[in-house]
Structure 1
Amino acid sequence: MHDFIPVNEPLLNGNEKAYLNQCIDTGWISSEGPFVKQFEEQFAAKMGRKYGIAVANGSVALDAAIVALDIGAGDEVIMPTFTIISCAAAIVRAGAIPVLVDSDPVTWNMDVEQIESLITPRTKAIMAVHIFGLPVDMQPLLTLAERYNLKVIEDAAQMHGQTYQGKPCGSFGDISTFSFYPNKHITTGEGGMIATDDPQLAEKCRSLRNLCFKPEQRFLHDELGWNFRMTNLQAALGVAQLERLDEFVQRKRHMGRYYTHLLEGVAGIQLPLANTTYAENIYWVYGVVLDDDLPFDAKTAMNALGKLGIGTRPFFWAMHEQPVLRNMGLFGNARYPVAERLARRGFYIPSGLALNDAQMERSAAMLKQFLANPSTGSGT
């Protein structure tokens, strides 16, 4: 029996140990350590931003970004329904209202053509969330934001090293956020970053992540902030990982192309789009979507593949179908058919940076075997 192939395994064979040992040897393990500033500056520069603010994870990066932009009670924020709940949670926690957009069925990103009809006098911002490997089509979105005087929050959690029309993802709009969870191109275990070109926004985010201590008197507070700080240990990992980002991006693109080569022409599945006019897929994960005429859904396929030793993960479950948000009275009976279909019929196969060609070959072979004979691995 082959070993189980996990859906993700990070690559930590650069300077990670050396930099972590440096933290331990010097005693600088908290957020006060020198790697934090180094990581912020180097990451911001790589993403084409002036300022980077390191935080505890990508979800709290969104929380701080929303508050820093003064988005609050009654404000509306247009966002994709097909994304992680952190995006909607940050809006709802601030007292604002998420207004949803369905996905494009081919890129899986928010359909920017639907945005303008959703803009009202209460709309304050658009949250663009790049999904899985291809960026949102930003130019028309930015044009709308300018025309209607809206803020733009760019969630580039999955896009380290990706570009849109040759410009780094994470460099667009008023403020950008990133995640460094272990399945990202750069990982710090847990961790996130806020990036902006606006010095006042940067200062506001720095204050919010550090309990809003007043600079002139530490334990005096005019506002409530959070402890969203990143540790020196995490930042040390980030610096080591950032050194290899270009290599990691090349590796991911090789993986995506190889999977497509192995799965091209296989009946019953939609593969990721290789490129658009504005970007080449970075294949953060390698997703597949089951055709509608197959008599089973993603959950069944994933269960069967698990029994065959292949790790998988489902696609996002759309925001308008989240019980916690519906219980708040949000979204009424709205339907977003593309996102609903992606949630039920989409999943991704092993995609971590540590994956080798032989593991990709076996993952693809098991997927093909299951599609040809769905009783395989189902335990029947």
Structure 2
Amino acid sequence: MAPTNPIPLVDLKAAHAEVADEVAAGFERVLATTGFVGGPEVAAFEEEYARFCGVRHCVGVANGTDALELALRAADVGWGRRNARGEADDEVVLPANTFIATAEAVARTGARPVLVDCEPGSQLIDVQAALAAVGPRTTAVVPVHLYGQHAAVEELTAKLAGTTVRVIEDAAQCQGATRLGRTAGADGLAATSFYPGKNLGAYGDGGAVLTDDADLAATVRALANHGGLSKYSHDLVGFNSRLDALQAVVLRAKLRRLPEWNATRRTAAERYGELLAGLEGITLPTTEPGNEHVWHLYVIRLESFGGDRERRDALVAKLNAEGIGAGVHYPTALHRTPAFAYLGYEPGAFPNAEDAASRIVSLPLHPHITAAQQERVAEALATALG
């Protein structure tokens, strides 16, 4: 029998109910003008989101994976260059513990992903390992702002200043987050996703590239529009990756609420900290100094299980059976996936990433979660842990 009153990991129904009237009115505007691709709704969203992020330029695209690939290509990374042996000549450094799309975007440019480990606590990219991995073929480093807080981009940019290596931020999980007062893409280049479950989510796929650099923004826009900025103008070999007007309507409505929603997420994270503080066998997530966390995910670590993936998965199954929408983000480090086995990394190459993959559990957290729901999650977790 299905559990009553399930608690979802992300409550998209509650989010829609809050914006439904605005979205319906916006859809009517788009339907009346039939401006389904681009147009005033997309332009307005790009301007509003750029202002929200504190950057000069936002280019809406079809999804977050495209956004990262377009950012890389605009920075002249990849382009299918090969050495005499037919191997990818460009290399891009990124963490081993991220959603596969980060590495896919790199591979799709023709560059070779070079993986590094994460920090054991925050699970953000190990900056020193990333810097050590930079070599003569490195064209970019991609820090991933994981779970809602920023990696130490300022350390990367300081060390790489004066080189040709770009820092291109994967900002899909940090919409509204800051580090030392800085937003993703400020004085640089960042890509984000508007997948429905994100802090700022569309009603389908969507993404954007953020930058202060007008030339980079223009290149991204041209690449995403078949290589040109106007119809039948094809200055580059591009592809079709454009944010549609209906999604822009949804994003504009949600963007107006994003600061409040992020504040509510922080309150919910604090509440989890209080409810779970005395529970043995788990380590709670923390906020790194200098970061304003937006809690895209609330990820605990099971310390008492000794890295036993099967027992972790059994615990998640118990929670799910009780109607608790727990999950794992992410269950497999990139070098352990068949897709990237060709990189040649052995098991154990990135011990922190692999250990985290066997221990982490994501608990339900979203702007509409109630205190009573969180109390039920905490009780179910305590029972499941035994």
1:267 to 251, 259, 280: 280
Partner of 1:314: 328
- Taking the aligned partners of 2:51 and 2:44, their CA distance within structure 1 comes to 11
Give the whole-Å Cα distance in 2 for the aligned partners of 1:24 and 1:293. Answer: 53
Residues 218-367 of structure 1 aligned to structure 2 (within 5 Å): 218-273=231-286, 275-293=287-305, 297-316=311-330, 317-326=332-341, 328-331=342-345, 335-367=349-381
In 1, Cα distance between equivalents of 2:5 and 2:27: 35
Looking at structure 2, the residues matched to 86 and 230 of structure 1 have their Cα atoms a distance apart, in angstroms, of 18
- Residue matched to 1:378: none
Corresponding pairs, count: 367
User: Matched residues in 1 for 2:201 and 2:311: separation?
Assistant: 31
Relative to structure 1, is the Cα distance of residues 325 and 45 closer, same or farther in structure 2, using a 3 angstrom cutoff?
same
Tell me the percent identity: 32
TM-superposed CA distance for 1:105, in Å, is 1.1
How does the TM-score come out when normalised to structure 2?
A: 0.90
Deviation for aligned residue 1:207: 1.0
**Equivalent residue of 1:195, what SS?**
strand
SS at match of 1:125: strand
Q: How far is the alpha carbon of 1:345 from its aligned partner?
A: 1.1
Seen in structure 2, the aligned counterparts of structure 1 residues 337 and 354 have a Cα distance that, compared at 3 Å, is same
- Hey, which of these two has a bigger chunk of helix by percent? 2
Is 1:69 aligned with 2:75?
Answer: yes
CA distance in 2 between partners of 1:232 and 1:371 (Å)? 46
Among candidates 141, 159, 184, match of residue 174 of structure 2? 159
Q: Give the alignment partner of residue 104 of structure 1, picking from 116, 119, 131.
A: 119
Determine the C-alpha separation between the residues in 1 that align with 2:160 and 2:37.
35
Distance in 1 separating the partners of 2:352 and 2:343? 22
Structure 2 residue runs of 5 or longer lacking an equivalent are 82-88
Query: Residues of 1 paired with 2:141 and 2:201: CA distance?
Result: 27
- Partner of 2:220, secondary structure, is helix
Unaligned runs of 5+ residues in structure 1 are 373-380
Secondary structure at the counterpart of residue 106 of structure 1: coil
Distance across 2 between alignment mates of 1:84 and 1:269: 23
* Matched position secondary structure for 1:8: coil
Evaluate the alpha carbon distance shift between residue 359 and residue 28 of structure 1 in structure 2; reply closer, same or farther with a 3 A threshold: farther
Q: Distance in 1 between matches of 2:343 and 2:100?
A: 16
**Relative to 1, partners in 2 of residues 1:23 and 1:308: Cα closer, same or farther, differing over 3 Å?**
closer
- Seen in structure 2, the aligned counterparts of structure 1 residues 341 and 101 have a Cα distance that, compared at 3 Å, is same
Matched, 1:54 2:60: yes
Q: CA deviation at 1:15?
A: 4.3
Find the counterpart in structure 1 of residue 84 from structure 2: none
Q: CA RMSD of the aligned region, Å?
A: 1.8
SS in 2 for 1:297: helix
TM-score by length of 1: 0.91
Q: CA deviation at 1:133?
A: 2.6
SS of 1:366 mapped into structure 2: helix
Distance (whole Å) between structure 2 residues aligned to residue 236 and residue 261 of structure 1: 37
Partner Cα separation in structure 2 for residue 304 and residue 333 of structure 1: 29
Query: Is the 8 Å Cα contact of residues 28 and 232 (structure 1) preserved in structure 2?
Result: no
Q: Determine if the alignment matches structure 1 residue 193 to structure 2 residue 208.
A: yes
Q: Which moved more, 1:62-71 or 1:21-30?
A: 21-30
**Tell me, what secondary structure is at the counterpart of 2:280?**
coil
Q: 1:40 aligns with which of 46, 49, 54?
A: 46
Which of 116, 136, 142 is the equivalent residue of 1:127? 142
Q: Give secondary structure in 2 for the equivalent of 1:98.
A: strand
Cα contact 2:305–2:359 (8 A) shared by 1: no
- Report the Cα distance in structure 2 between the residues aligned to 1:17 and 1:54, rounded to whole angstroms: 23
Distance 2:264 2:141 in 1: 32
Question: How far, CA to CA, are the matches of 1:332 and 1:350 in structure 2?
Answer: 33
Deviation at 1:147, TM superposition (A): 4.4
CA deviation digits over 1:269-325, x for unaligned, max 9? Answer: 11101x322114322111111115456532111111111111111122211111111
Alignment of 1:208 with 2:223, yes or no, is yes
The farther-off stretch of 111-120 and 328-337 is: 328-337
What is the one-letter code of the residue matched to 1:340?
A: E
Higher deviation after alignment, 239-248 or 284-293: 284-293
CA distance in 2, matches of 1:333, 1:245: 40
Contact 1:6 1:311 survives alignment (8 Å): yes
How far apart, CA to CA, are the structure 2 residues paired with 1:336 and 1:119?
A: 17
DSSP 3-state at the match of 1:283: coil
Aligned-partner SS, 2:210: strand
How has the CA–CA distance of structure 1 residues 293 and 86 changed in structure 2, closer, same or farther, with 3 Å as cutoff? closer
Q: Which amino acid aligns with 1:59?
A: T
Q: SS at 2:147's partner residue? A: coil
